[in-house]
Chain A
Amino acid sequence: MPDGENVAALDVTLHTIDGLVLVEFEPLELSRTNSDAAPMSFATRVQPDYYAIIKKTVTRLQLAITLQQFCQVLADEVSLLSGMERVIIYKFHADQHGEVVAESLLGDQPPWLGLHYPAEDIPKPARDMFAKTWIRPVPDTNVALAEMTPLLNADTGKPLDMTHCALRGVSLLYTEYLKNMGVLAGLTMALRRGNELWGLITCHHYSGPRAVPYQLRAACEFLAQVGSLQLQAVEDRENAAYRIKLEEVNQQLLTMAAQEGGLASITDGQPSLLGAMHASGAALFHRDRWWRLGQTPDEIQLEGLAAWLMAHLHTNSLTDSVYATESLVADYPPAAAFSHVASGLLVAPLSYSGQNLIMWFRPEVIQTVNWGGDPHDKPMVSSPFGIRRMPRRSFERFTESVRHHAFPWLQVEIDAAARLRSLIMELVIVRAERMAGLNADLARSNEELDAFAYVASHDLKEPLRGIHKYAHQLMEAASGDEEEKRRLNGLMRLTLRMDTLLDSLLHFSRVGREDLTLEKIDLNDVLADAIEMVSSRTSDSRKQIAAPRPLPQIVGDRVRVREVLVNLLSNGLKYNDKENKRVEVGFIEAHESSLRSNFPESSNGHTVYYVRDNGIGIAPRHFEQVFKIFKRLHGREEYGGGAGAGLTIVKKLVERHRGQVWPAVGAEDSTGSTGSTFFFTLNAMDEN
């Protein structure tokens, strides 16, 4: 070492390697050969206060809420500290492909921010090195490498391990790449989360060589280490913020689902299923139809997917959880047809039957990212690690590896889907419980009412019989006074009318209370019996009851179904002023949709029976009233009289068969008169 001459001060670094001592000498100041106008004279005299600089930087890093902000602060601070003209934060994705997530430019170099690069741009040996080394400088890409002498450790005969040496040369290929890009000096630092290499801080200098002195390098290294330590925290902060946002939207979605609009409102309301979740499309299957939002597969594709999902979820016992994939094609090959919109799929099944599903979709990565150069456009690719020729085959191999892949779902997203699922299912359960409670109350009060009606009418009969008897006896003993006889007759007539009412009430209450005897019955036989009963009751001459086609076999209570028919048939004949009274009994099957206009939704999927007459008809405004007990639309003595309980009993009997009955206008005949039609369903079989 020359002594006393005009030699700049040096940094000296000592390494002990395999029993050897390795000494590195570096200039203390930034190299004079760089293009900075002013000589870096301070370096020899006053060292910058790196502690103060770093302290400020750390504070700024801690204030960053999002990972994006954090990376930008890091890039800006490294730029300030090192004076390098391009500083980028390069993040490795799960599949090792890289993305420029932050950039700080001092000159007018073209920006690389947002560009993605294939994994092979940074080969595995380079990544492995940065797992061990924090910093790697390239002070001057034009300086030829000097060979270490001797090459082998004289003691061990092995090559000297210079991993930790600052002045160790970098690969020729690398410097070649840098030179091709016009980069004259480089500096790269590792960003690690735990023990894994998370990304790199890469600095390029274009205006001249730039040797970063030891102190400054140490500061940069320290910054990389601080950045690494904070990564986990900032990712946690970002996740926490995302988690809060997702939960907030989940709660809003639940509130919407609980209100009038029902579940479907979570697809068209504000916020929607896409309110917080980072997905490009969502779909809800609910009430036998799809509700789509954003970019989704079409409904036919969704049908196929849902069918596969239910089978898949069942066989994999995942029904109590959510299903998430970043490459649906791997599990479900038909998804290849729509992988551009749904390579990533997150599913929250809302019921075991698959009747309700929520899905979120993510497009194929290749569709969304800005690739740092496509060899189809230009064979030369500019990347943080150099411009190089990218062979077509290699690019194709690379695109193949990311084909049908979406960005993976984060744990917070999977958790949020599971959370929304449980919130909605809770809501469903709460509703079901409330409904069950109401049903139980209703059943109880119905039973009490029936029992009351039965006892009351029964107990009312005894005194009624007594009253009638005395009236009868008075009548027999009456003198010839016509007025007295008229009054006593009236008294007897009223007691008999009351008797009829009580009988109807008794019968009605019994209809509600007694168990059904369910068996397979042939409706043709039942109709034949009913016709016989009706015929024996009415002496009407010109009447015709017909079924246009044979009726099916059903499960029901023979006696009760017959009573339904008897009541409807006799009404059809009774409330009929035609000379030729006609009643038609038929049925409409579930698939005969053209005949099912204006049918209630709940009759969907069920065979509907009908009794249609050419009688006097019922005005639609009276449709509700006809089922009310003792409610008569006509005078007491008109149309043969009657208690007015027939249709009430029909309704009760049909309901006990889990069906419903509703009136409609009947068939129009030549005179323009329509008559009436009673439709009903009998779904007692559904119970089994």
Chain B
Amino acid sequence: MPAPISSSLAESILVVEDSDEDFDTLVEAARGLGETRTIHRALSGGDCLALLRGEGGTHQAPLSLLPSLIFMDLNSHGVDGREALVVIKSEPRLKEIPLVILTTSANPKDLTFCYQAGANAYHVKPVRHDHYLLLLRSILHYWLESATLQHLMAEAN
């Protein structure tokens, strides 16, 4: 039984993404912004939950601190993004972490489901690479720089 990871937040980003290309694009966008935070990767929703519980992921050593932002793809093998979203948003310890859905699905049903489950934002991945990069940059900038978040306020006090 691994020791529970600390509740204080690391300056890291957790990306749930099974496509290498999409993961690389996200890293490319972050680096393009000059972002220095660690970017952790989970391959599925199940992988993501394991990491947040302090266990090791598929290609990832256990986290010592919780991430400050989660990107979640919806369709993955095993426990998918939808289930992981529901678990994260129902756990008091995790639900304050901003969680951004990044998916191929433009299905209104997915959209409704995710917002009702407490997703902080929902974005459809564009096929055009330059549009994709632009989108990712704006998301990263917004959640890491612009938004004032609950846990940061608490820490400042």
Could you tell me which A residues sit within 8 Å of B by CB distance? 454, 458, 461-462, 464-466, 468-473, 495-496, 499, 503, 506, 510, 514
Contact = CB atoms under 8 A, between A and B. Distances in A.
Contact of A468 (B19, B104, B105, B128): B128
A529 B132 CA distance: 30
A454 to B, nearest CB: 8
B105 A469 contact: no
Contacts of B120: none
Interface in B107-132: 107-109, 125-130, 132
A465 B107 contact: no
Interface string B25-51: 100000000000000000000000000
Given A466-B19, A469-B21, A510-B107, A499 B130 contact: no
A465 B105 contact: no
B21 A465 contact: yes
B22 interface: yes
B129 A469 contact: yes
A506 B109 CA distance: 13
A90 to B, nearest CB: 86
Contacts of A468: 127-129
B25 A469 contact: yes
B19 to A, nearest CB: 6
B105 A472 contact: no
Contact of A465 (B106, B108, B130, B132): B132
Q: Which 3 A-B pairs have the closest CB atoms?
A: A472-B129, A466-B21, A499-B127
A458 B105 contact: yes
Given A462-B104, A465-B22, A506-B106, A496 B129 contact: no
Choose among A454, A466, A470 the residue with the greatest number of B CB atoms under 10 Å from its CB: A466
A502 to B, nearest CB: 9
B128 A496 contact: yes
A495 B106 CA distance: 18
A471 to B, nearest CB: 8
Nearest to B124: A461
A468 B125 CA distance: 12
A458 B109 CA distance: 14
Nearest to B126: A465
Contacts of B25: 469
29 contacts: A454-B107, A458-B105, A461-B104, A461-B125, A461-B127, A462-B19, A462-B22, A462-B104, A464-B127, A465-B19, A465-B22, A465-B104, A465-B125, A465-B132, A466-B19, A468-B127, A468-B128, A468-B129, A469-B21, A469-B25, A471-B129, A473-B129, A495-B127, A496-B127, A499-B127, A499-B128, A503-B106, A506-B106, A510-B107
Interface of B is mostly: loop
Contacts of A514: 108-109
Contacts of B107: 454, 510
A617 to B, nearest CB: 34
A503 B104 CA distance: 11
Contacts of B105: 458
A470 to B, nearest CB: 8
Contacts of A454: 107
A398 B107 CA distance: 84
Contacts of A458: 75, 104-105
A461 B126 CA distance: 9
A466 B20 CA distance: 9
A469 B22 CA distance: 9
Most-contacted residue by chain A among B107, B108, B109, B129 (CB, 10 A)? B129
A496 B130 CA distance: 12
Interface string B113-157: 000000000000111111010000000000000000000000000
A456 to B, nearest CB: 12
Contacts of A469: 21, 25, 129, 132
A557 to B, nearest CB: 13
Contacts of A503: 106
Contacts of B128: 468, 496, 499
B80 to A, nearest CB: 13
A128 to B, nearest CB: 89
A410 B107 CA distance: 68
Contacts of A462: 19, 22, 104
Contacts of B127: 461, 464-465, 468, 495-496, 499
B23 to A, nearest CB: 11
A466 B17 CA distance: 13
A472 B129 CA distance: 7
Contacts of A471: 129
Nearest to B21: A466
A469 B28 CA distance: 12
Contacts of A495: 127
Contacts of A465: 19, 21-22, 104, 125-127, 129, 132
Contacts of A466: 19, 21-22
Most buried by B among A469, A496, A499: A469
Contacts of A472: 129-130
B25 to A, nearest CB: 6
Nearest to B104: A461
Given A462-B22, A499-B128, 8 more contacts: A458-B104, A461-B104, A461-B127, A465-B129, A472-B129, A495-B127, A506-B106, A510-B107
A28 to B, nearest CB: 112
A416 B25 CA distance: 81
A458 B19 CA distance: 14
A469 to B, nearest CB: 5
B31 to A, nearest CB: 14
A462 B107 CA distance: 15
Contacts of B126: 465
Contacts of A464: 127
A679 B41 CA distance: 54
A471 B128 CA distance: 10
A503 B106 CA distance: 9
